[in-house]
Amino acid sequence: MAVRKAGRIVAAVAATAFVAGGAAACGPEDLTGGGDKGGDKGTASVSPSESAPAGGPEAKAPPEGTDALARTPATVKGGVITVGDPKAGHTVKLYEDARCPICRKFEETGARALVKPVAEGKVKVEYTIASFLDRNLGGSGSVNAANALRASVDAGKFPQFHAAVFANQAATETEDAYTPAFLLKIADKVEGLRGAEFDRAVNKGTYKKWVGQAMQAFTDDGMQGTPTVFVDGKKTGSDALFDEAAFAKELKASGIS
């Protein structure tokens, strides 16, 4: 038991460490471990908002520029959410966990280079939303966030809500901040997102099975950490992920500008 606890502490520390040339990735401690039950791979139970504190932090609005993707379609196939014109000539594959601070670092920097080409229909982004950090660190925030993100696709607000979720990430990944109640507070910052169907999906964990499917897709693709980014099938090095200009240069090298 002591060894297992120590392993979790090491995993948490490693996940938040920054190294020369870029940020270290958040990584699953054990993708095939004892957290898989009942066919939901790597997921935990969704905590109903009724059991969450009524208070909590105030939610922040999504960053400026997000509205540029307001008319961009988002679709779901299997465990993957695709944003952009399905016929776009280029594809960026992105693997993230909502509790991963390094993913937030990418969303605040390199990912901003994707907004314009996605809005213009030049590239589509395929998101695989993992939830392994719940098992590593305890809690159900990654599962709750992934479930809410899936629900936002049906509401036609995935790009804006996705940006808002990362903008409201807790200061430390060990804090299990993404309760259904807080996710609804975040949703309040996205115009037109709140509604009976969306709220019910967030509170009741409507897409829990899909969350498991997304985690299985992450595992099946052989991913070892987040964020992991592929541009037209080529993995992008960490030194280019955390600077908007550097990532824009990577995109341009693939013909995306």
Q: What pLDDT does 145 receive?
A: 98
Structure confidence by residue, pLDDT tens digits, 45-82: 444 433 344 446 899 999 988 899 999 999 999 999 99
Q: What pLDDT does 64 receive?
A: 87
pLDDT category of residue 172 using cuts at 50, 70 and 90: confident
How far, CA to CA in Å, does 89 sit from each of 69, 145, 149?
A: 18, 30, 25
pLDDT category of residue 179 using cuts at 50, 70 and 90: very high
| Rounded Cα gap, residues 49 and 69, in angstroms | 29
Q: What is the dihedral of CA 176, 149, 169, 181, to 10 degrees?
A: -50
What radius of gyration, in Å, describes the C-alpha atoms of the chain?
17
Over 90: is that where the pLDDT of 150 sits?
Answer: yes
Residue 192 half-sphere exposure toward CB, CA atoms < 13 A: 10
Query: What are the two backbone dihedrals, phi and then psi, of residue 77, each rounded to the nearest 5 degrees?
Result: -140, 120
Structure confidence by residue, pLDDT tens digits, 208-237: 999 999 999 999 999 999 999 999 999 999
Q: Euclidean distance between the first and final Cα of the chain, in Å?
A: 51
| Rounded Cα gap, residues 57 and 170, in angstroms | 10
Q: What is the mean pLDDT of residues 152-180?
A: 96
Q: What pLDDT does 28 receive?
A: 85
Confidence (pTM): 0.84
Structure confidence by residue, pLDDT tens digits, 91-112: 999 999 999 999 999 999 999 9
Residue type, 53: P
